Amino acid sequence: MTVTIKDVAKKSGVAPSTVSRVIADSPSISQATKEKVRKVMHELNYFPNANAQGLASNRSKTIGVILPLASDAFYQNPFFPTVLRGINFGMSKVDYSILLSSGQTNEQRLNHIKKIVHGKKVEGLIFLYASKNDPLLDFALSTNIPTVVVGTPDKLKVHVVDNDNETIGKQATDYLIQKGCQNIAYIGGDMDQFFIKDRLKGYQIALEENNRTYKEDYIYNDFAFLSTDGYQLIKNEIDLSLYDGFVIADELVANGIQQALLEKKITQIRTITFKPFQQALYHSNMGESYINLHTRLLGSRAVSILFDSIENDNKGEQRYIREYVDGELVVMPEF
């Protein structure tokens, strides 16, 4: 029924091995036969069976992308589709497919990742999050499968691509200072996420460099990553008279905050946050300036690092790459 390599071989009058070599574009096949065989492949509408290829060559031509637990609030973040786009973009050169991790519970997720890496379904892994003591990452590292994580995990022996969160946090804070803000609060989130901590560090450095005193109670950290959290914070919890500036570590939270401020008709507080890309789409992006995180770049860089790692396999001793992409201040017109 389905056309195989033998059919192509027969019709082109060559051996199956020759066909296989023209598939791989091997240099040891003459241009003439290549063309002849390719013509037949096209006539017969032949496509190589990926499973057979994978079995014979021990390469699946697909990489696994590991998402966080679906119930995690963080999952909702525009960050994810954006990195995914970057990954897609980076892969357009290399003829690989993307396998998405799945599972509703952490146990399911762990089982699934075991199955796909031991079962040779994937040649490499990209983690789209970094959290503490992640059993999935532990597993990945224990198998030596090429892995890169987008974000900064609590492990050293792995490739990493992340925003330069400290610098970015400083950059944002500097902007507010330069705009004349005197009392700047830092609205963070889950302190188990390293980027929250790092941006806070940048905030702190900016204050110090400008001879401002860093105050513990100017830091707000006890909530998740939802816009409702930001909204609630403003509406109920925070003493707004204290501040004239907010550095908000997460875009969703910032959305909630900005809406709450608008509703309360508060204009003396300037805010700044971080968005996945220029012209962030989840918000009208008219009002406030922000830092563009180049999130798509995160994805495409992760891909190239991963492929370097896949190609170079175990030649020479392993070196781990840490790549930090910078942010870009996008200043909005005042209204």
Of DNA, a second copy, none, which one sits near residue 266, judging by CB under 5 to 8 A according to partner kind? none
DSSP of 118-168: HTTS-SEEEES---TT-HHHHHHHHHT--EEEES--S-SSSEEEEE-HHHH
Of a second copy, DNA, none, which one sits near residue 283, judging by CB under 5 to 8 A according to partner kind? a second copy
Question: Are 176 and 186 contacting, i.e. CB atoms less than 8 angstroms apart?
Answer: no
Return the residue matching tokens 């999130």. 295
**CB-wise, 37 or 181, nearer to DNA?**
37
Residue of the chain from 35, 42, 57, 182 that contacts DNA (CB under 7 A): 57
Work out how close the CB of 112 gets to a second copy at its nearest, in angstroms, rounded to a whole number: 7
Task: Take residue 236 and report the two structure tokens written for it.
Answer: 């109920």
DSSP of 206-223: HHHHTTPPP-GGGEE--S
Question: Are 226 and 259 contacting, i.e. CB atoms less than 8 angstroms apart?
Answer: no
Task: Take residue 332 and report the two structure tokens written for it.
Answer: 């909005």
Residue 53 within binding range of DNA, rule CB under 7 A: yes
**One symbol per residue from 261 to 290: x for binding a second copy (CB under 8 A), - otherwise; what is it?**
-xx---------------x-xxxxxxx---
Burial 207-220 (b: 16+ CB within 10 A, else e): beeeebeeeeebbb
Residue 97 within binding range of DNA, rule CB under 7 A: no
**CB-wise, 112 or 170, nearer to a second copy?**
112
**One symbol per residue from 42 to 81: x for binding a second copy (CB under 8 A), - otherwise; what is it?**
---x-xxxxxxxxx----x-x--x----x--x-xx-x-xx
List the alpha helices (DSSP H) in the chain: 5-12, 16-23, 31-43, 50-57, 79-91, 106-118, 135-143, 165-178, 194-209, 227-232, 251-263, 295-312
CB atoms within 10 A of CB 175: 20
Task: Take residue 89 and report the two structure tokens written for it.
Answer: 């973009």
* Binding to DNA in span 8-27, by CB under 7 A: 13-21, 23-24, 27
Residue 295 within binding range of DNA, rule CB under 7 A: no
Residues that bind a second copy (CB under 8 A): 2, 45, 47-55, 60, 62, 65, 70, 73, 75-76, 78, 80-81, 84-85, 88-89, 91-92, 96-100, 102-105, 108, 112, 114-116, 118-121, 226-228, 230-231, 252, 255-256, 259-260, 262-263, 279, 281-287, 335
Residues that bind DNA (CB under 7 A): 2, 4-6, 13-21, 23-24, 27-30, 32-33, 46, 48-49, 52-53, 55-58
